Amino acid sequence: MYLKITCLPRKAGFFQLLFFIFLLLSSNLANAQCAGEDASITICNIPDPANQSINLFNLLGGTPTPGGSWTDLQESRALNLSTGVLNVWGINESDTYVFIYTVNDAFCTDNVATVTVTVGGYAGISNPNASACDDNSSVNLFQFLGNFPNPQLNGHWNDDSNSGALRGNFLDATVSGLGTFSFTYTMPAIGSCQPVSATVDVTVHPAPEPGEPSDLILCDSDDMSIYTNVNLLDYLFGQDPGGKWSESGTSELSSPQDTFINVQNIYNTFGPGEYGFTYTVQPSHPVCNQKSATIKIIIEEQLDFTGSTLVVASDICEDEIGRATFVATLTQGLENIPNGSYNLQYQITGPIPSGNTIVVRFENGVTTFPIPAISFPLIGTYTVRIINIHETTGYNACDHIIGDISDILNVYPLPKINDGTLTIENTCQDTDATVQLSGNINLTDGDYRITYNLSGSNTAPSRQVIMTVTGGVGTFIIPGSLLHNPGSTTIVITHIINLQTLCENVASLSQSFTIFPKPDVSNVRVAINDVCENQPVIANFSGFGILTNMQITYSLTGANTASGIVTIAAVNGSATFTIPANQLLNTGTTTFTVSEIVNNETSCGASNLSITDSFTIYKLPEIPIVNTMEFCQSENATVADLLPNGTSYIWYATESGTSPLSSDTVLTSGNYYVAAVSPFGCVSQKAMVTVTITDLPAPTLETDGQNFCGLDSPAPTLADLSANVNGTGTIVWYDALINGNQLPDSHPLQDGTTYYGFDSSAVTGCISENALAVMVSLTHCGEDEYELMIPDGFSPNGDGINDTFNIPNIEFLFPDFTLEIYNRYGNVMYKGNRNTPDWDGRSNQSTIIDGVAPNGVYFYIVNFNKGKKPAQQGRLYLNR
């Protein structure tokens, strides 16, 4: 049969145990002989050696079968489960214990028996000589009661001396003070066993007092010259006398009684460190241990964090606030930082200031530590700065050199542009369009990548471009390759990312703009004529069609190299442009090329053009070599008289003149300008010729200087006339003013003849331009000085001898005379005067037919018409 055994707690009540045994026995009552019969025993005298060990098998009644198994129901741990021997001294509490013996035999119907053992109390052996030290706060009183056997544990201690220092089974000697104190330990009665007690008398002895040390803590940057003679006793307080000093190897103490040390020498010899000097005092009773107090001379090394770097990882975007993690990495600088733990204090400045002191560990010059996300709660720039660092195991003797160890962490805003304004200038097909983003945007200066769509006349999905923001205004370019079709196009920005912060955001911002067509310049031509040096060069354009206002980009190559941009206006498709002179400094052949034409009305242009024409600038001839020139006024010199002359030269009246002088232009005194002309019609620069026209004034006639007497002898000549003329030089006489003949001074004067006198200079060879016209009168003769003889006949036969009736010298004496000739019939044949003084025998009156007077006697009447002289009559004979 099988038996189920329920294990009871070690301290189960005795009646509970009996109830368990009753149940066990009632199931096997008819067959109990295999395990023997139940037994019980009470042991009160515990210290008796005879009671140390009990063989429980031997206590069973009947005939138990050996080889069964034992069960220690209360787990006393004092029963040998194999042998059934119970070690009573191994039971540490007095109580009633039940042990079960079981035989596992199929033919055995009674296989369980119990042995009940009652163990009395044992309090140990009284001890009147126990000792304790007054520095012991937990003196175990059981140690004084012996340990063979050990006193049981379920007794009770009593403070017989009322010391107030009993704590369970412990004496707190620090409370009782010095003296002897009694404590009784009592085990209660159990079963038939009586209570037992044992008393311990404890004498409390004083502990030695080494004193309270005060450490000398220095930094290696301190002035240690003041610590060359340090008395250790100055750093120890309340010690017992008579102790001895020892040290940890500095060799500063010469004996156990030496109390002076040289801290500066310690530092100079051993450097920074912790150096101990121990004062040891022996106890008055062996129960107390010797005690020591150690004065520490601590010289801490000042750490230099100069050059250290702090990196706080990492910057975040606005949408990461509160969920990002931040790790700071501090790396040593110029000086190695020892491995170990440090108290690190950091400070955060920014939108929300904060800070903290934490423990970090440096390994190989590097430490990392987290910074709570709550430290960066708002958008902005935060500066994380290390304020202080000290070793956690140190004494903070040194203020370590920190310097400025900081890093900046940014909480960047998300780029938001939906409330902004897009400004796009209308542009030309295939031409980049500049887009400007401004207004209510929160974009800092920098580069952004935006994504946009184009729709309308031009379409392009999901295009990306870099936008640069300066001064709160963003600018980017829509490539001309996306703007091929004229018309209205709309841009919509759908996404934006800040390339510096990598913060990104969706967007929905749009704007429409117009794409203008390119101008049609397929028929545009340019023609430029050859010119001379310094002449304007005019480009003549044609083929502009409907274009009226253009901007031309051109270049010059060849003899001249230049480029420029000019605005021109076209009329009926044609326009002109004068190339700036400062771009045409060299002669030779130059090619003019138009590379771009922009319609100013739309700003659209056609580029990569090659509209060309070549022209030649001819070099100007050399400036003529000239000399001053002198002319006489009378020469009536003209331009044709100037030198140099000919078809290769042109004369001008002024230096700036452009109209050449004709060759017959009469010269006057002054400056004239001559330019050489090349075969190409190029005119050189002008050379100045100073022309001097020498002009003598016309001579003047003295009063009545023209009057002479033709009867004088010798007869008056031009020399006589010159004597009556005033001039600067020699008077030269001509018989006519124009194309006259020069007359010699010996030329006799003729009455009523006009002579033209010019003043002349022997120095210049010039004569006066204007002449003195003198009509000579030879009639100024005194009538009393000369006799008038009237001839009495003549023979007009044409033989050259006495062919006319002439009254000699009458024209000189009576210049106003009149002559009348009558025939014998009283008819007037002839009338004369000084203009017709001679009668040739012909009638000048109408009374005679044929006018020829026949031979015969005729009568004359001379009217003198001078003064009161009466007329004279006479006759004459005409004989042919």
CB 477 within 8 A of CB 427: no
In a domain, 24, yes or no: yes
CATH number at residue 193: 2.60.40
Number of H helices, E strands in the chain: 5, 61
Residue 578 has which token pair? 């004068």
Task: Check residues 2 and 118 and name the one with the higher pLDDT.
Answer: 118
* 516, 533, 562 - which closes a domain: 516
> In the predicted model, what is the mean pLDDT of residues 269-287?
95
Domain hosting residue 236, numbered range: 212-300
Residue 767: C-alpha distances to residues 32, 253, 448, 731, 755 (Å): 196, 144, 98, 9, 16
Are 238 and 172 found together in one domain? no
In a domain, 800, yes or no: yes
Read off the amino acid at residue 241: P
818 pLDDT more than 60:
yes
800 pLDDT more than 60:
yes
> What is the structure's pLDDT at 710?
84
Distance from C-alpha of 796 to C-alpha of 784, rounded to nearest angstrom: 32
DSSP letter assigned to residue 794: E
Are 25 and 86 found together in one domain? yes
Are 112 and 27 found together in one domain? yes
Are 114 and 25 found together in one domain? yes
- The per-residue b/e assignment along 392-429, b for 16 or more CB within 10 angstroms, e otherwise, is eebeebbebebeebbbebbbbbbbbbeebebebeebbb
Q: Which residues, in sequence order, are CB contacts of 147 under 8 Å at separation 6+? A: none
The strands making up 196-205's β-sheet, listed across from edge to edge, are: 127-133, 196-205, 179-187, 156-159
> In the predicted model, what is the mean pLDDT of residues 240-251?
93
Instruction: Give the percent of the chain with pLDDT over 90.
Output: 79
Tokens 């919509």 map to which residue? 492
Dmax (CA) of the chain: 251
Tokens 């911002």 map to which residue? 509
C-alpha atoms less than 13 angstroms from C-alpha of 718 in its C-beta half-sphere:
20
Q: Which residues, in sequence order, are CB contacts of 875 under 8 Å at separation 6+? A: 792, 857, 858, 859, 860
Digit-coded pLDDT (tens) for 516-570:
998 999 999 999 999 998 899 999 999 999 999 999 999 999 999 999 999 999 9
Digit-coded pLDDT (tens) for 121-174:
999 999 999 999 999 999 999 999 998 899 999 999 999 999 999 999 999 999
CB 315 within 8 A of CB 411: yes
> What is the structure's pLDDT at 26?
42
Distance from C-alpha of 309 to C-alpha of 172, rounded to nearest angstrom: 56
Residue 658: C-alpha distances to residues 158, 673, 675, 683, 684 (Å): 149, 11, 11, 10, 12
Distance from C-alpha of 662 to C-alpha of 672, rounded to nearest angstrom: 13
264 pLDDT more than 50:
yes
Question: Is residue 833 classed as helix, strand or coil in its secondary structure?
Answer: strand
Are 31 and 91 found together in one domain? yes
Q: Work out whether strand 772-775 and strand 754-760 pair parallel, antiparallel, or are unpaired.
A: antiparallel
Are 192 and 231 found together in one domain? no
Residue 222: C-alpha distances to residues 218, 272, 336 (Å): 7, 12, 21
Tokens 């739309």 map to which residue? 602
> What is the structure's pLDDT at 805?
94
Residue 763 has which token pair? 């120095």
- Nearest to residue 103, comparing CAs of 173, 156, 33? 33
Distance from C-alpha of 262 to C-alpha of 827, rounded to nearest angstrom: 187
pLDDT band at 848 (very low <50, low <70, confident <90, very high): low
Tokens 């005119």 map to which residue? 683
CB 433 within 8 A of CB 427: yes
pLDDT band at 23 (very low <50, low <70, confident <90, very high): very low
Torsion 576-581-586-592 (CA) sign: negative
Task: Give me the chain's average pLDDT, please.
Answer: 91
CB 829 within 8 A of CB 858: yes
Are 107 and 138 found together in one domain? no
Residue 385 has which token pair? 């700065």
In a domain, 475, yes or no: yes
Are 107 and 172 found together in one domain? no
Digit-coded pLDDT (tens) for 305-343:
999 999 999 899 999 998 999 999 999 999 999 999 999
DSSP string, 553-620: EEEEEESS-EEEEEEEE-BTTBEEEEEPGGG--S-EEEEEEEEEEEETTTTEEE-S--EEEEEEEEPP
2 pLDDT more than 50:
no
Distance from C-alpha of 59 to C-alpha of 118, rounded to nearest angstrom: 14
Where residue 303 falls (left for φ over 0; alpha for ψ -120 to 50; beta otherwise) is beta
Distance from C-alpha of 527 to C-alpha of 82, rounded to nearest angstrom: 135
How many independent structural domains does the chain possess? 9
- Nearest to residue 422, comparing CAs of 498, 480, 501, 478? 478
Task: Check residues 867 and 692 and name the one with the higher pLDDT.
Answer: 692
> What is the structure's pLDDT at 850?
60
* 719, 744, 775 - which closes a domain: 775
Are 831 and 850 found together in one domain? yes
In a domain, 4, yes or no: no
Q: Which of 1-10, 372-381, 387-396 has the lowest mean pLDDT?
A: 1-10
> What is the structure's pLDDT at 847?
56
Digit-coded pLDDT (tens) for 202-235:
999 999 999 999 999 999 999 999 999 999 999 9
Residue 420 has which token pair? 């902004």
> What is the structure's pLDDT at 812?
83
In a domain, 537, yes or no: yes
Bridge partners, residue 470, by sequence: 473
In a domain, 656, yes or no: yes
> In the predicted model, what is the mean pLDDT of residues 393-421?
94
* E-state strands within 776-853: 793-794, 818-822, 828-833
Are 397 and 352 found together in one domain? yes
Are 594 and 639 found together in one domain? no
Distance from C-alpha of 352 to C-alpha of 349, rounded to nearest angstrom: 7
Task: Check residues 765 and 595 and name the one with the higher pLDDT.
Answer: 595
Q: Which residues, in sequence order, are CB contacts of 581 under 8 Å at separation 6+? A: 534, 536
Tokens 């012991």 map to which residue? 136
Bridge partners, residue 516, by sequence: 428
pLDDT band at 784 (very low <50, low <70, confident <90, very high): confident
Digit-coded pLDDT (tens) for 399-412:
999 999 999 999 99
DSSP letter assigned to residue 76: -
- Nearest to residue 600, comparing CAs of 690, 476, 726, 516? 516
* 591, 618, 645 - which closes a domain: 618
Digit-coded pLDDT (tens) for 712-734:
888 899 999 999 999 988 999 99
> What is the structure's pLDDT at 524?
96
CATH number at residue 606: 2.60.40.10
Question: Is residue 443 classed as helix, strand or coil in its secondary structure?
Answer: coil
In a domain, 786, yes or no: no
Compute the C-alpha angle 43/37/31, nearest 5°.
Answer: 160
In a domain, 759, yes or no: yes
pLDDT band at 769 (very low <50, low <70, confident <90, very high): confident
First-to-final CA distance of the chain: 232
Are 531 and 452 found together in one domain? no
DSSP string, 632-688: EGGGT-BGGGSSS-STTEEEESSTT--SPPPTTPBP-SEEEEEEEB-TT--B---EE
Distance from C-alpha of 795 to C-alpha of 368, rounded to nearest angstrom: 167
